[in-house]
A = this chain, B = another copy of it.
Amino acid sequence: MIHASVRIGENVIIGENVVIEENVVIGNRVTIGHNVIIKKDSMIGNDVNIGELTVLGKPTSSNKKMARKPLHSLDPLVIGNHVNIGCNSVIYRHVKLEEGVFVGDLTSIREKVVVGEDSIVGRNAIVETNTNIGKRVTIQTGCYITADMLIEDDVFIGPCCSSSNDKYMGMGNYKHQGPTIKKGAKIGNNATLLPAVTIGENAIVGAGSVITKDVPANKTVVGNPGRIIK
């Protein structure tokens, strides 16, 4: 079902059982896999590839217990040129994927997130709301990128890393703050980052480390809790 208001460019391939809702705009040479759902108002550039069974432009929702209520006026999802999105993924409204971004299968990206040029969001990675991801960043498979986080350009985050933004763990209405990862820093697989820590420029966090305080630029930290080595 393609809504009558949808605008579609040249040489677009659309799979079976695809649903495209009202006011969607699709560029040229786009490939849309079978059973894809594109929610209303989404804007898709040229040379974009969308894998099967993926949802684009999902609005937010919540229940009584959630601190963060849905926003009533979210911008549309915007997907730049040459973006590649995997299968069975869920990308919300008010996300911007810049040119050349790669999003794997089984990922989810919440509202109010920008992913910079040529960055990778790996398979099964989850990105929460209100987070900014720079250019040429690698977020590997299975990472959890919390809300209210800043990831600068050229950062590398290994598989299965976890971050958090709520130091009081749901106890009240404190301000939430995720980690900041400065330019060029590298995080080993399955590392744990606590709320509000800063990982300095070109710092290295070892695999499996638990980072409870700031890591200075150019230093290497390993262990639980993380300690500077050398």
The oligomer's copy count stands at 3
* Size bin of chain A's contact surface: 35 or more
Q: Is the interface of A mostly helix, strand, loop or mixed?
A: loop
Mark A169-207 against chain B: 1 for CB-CB distance below 8 A, else 0. Answer: 111000000000000001111101010000000001011
From 44 to 70 in chain A, residues with beta carbon under 8 angstroms from any chain B beta carbon are 49, 51-53, 55, 58, 61-66
Q: Can you name the residue of chain B whose Cβ is closest to the Cβ of A82?
A: B63
Q: Does A118 contact B (CB under 8 A)?
A: yes
Q: Output the least CB separation between A187 and chain B (Å).
A: 8
Given A87-B55, A188-B164, also A102-B62 (CB < 8 A): yes
From 95 to 121 in chain A, residues with beta carbon under 8 angstroms from any chain B beta carbon are 100-102, 105-106, 108, 118-120
Report whether A126 and B142 are in contact in the complex, using a CB–CB cutoff of 8 Å. Answer: yes
Report whether B51 and A53 are in contact in the complex, using a CB–CB cutoff of 8 Å. Answer: no
Q: Which residues of A contact B (CB under 8 A)?
A: 1, 15-17, 19, 33-35, 37, 49, 51-53, 55, 58, 61-66, 82, 84, 86-90, 100-102, 105-106, 108, 118-120, 123-124, 126, 128, 136, 138, 141-142, 144, 146, 156, 158-160, 162-164, 166, 169-171, 186-190, 192, 194, 204, 206-210, 212, 222-225
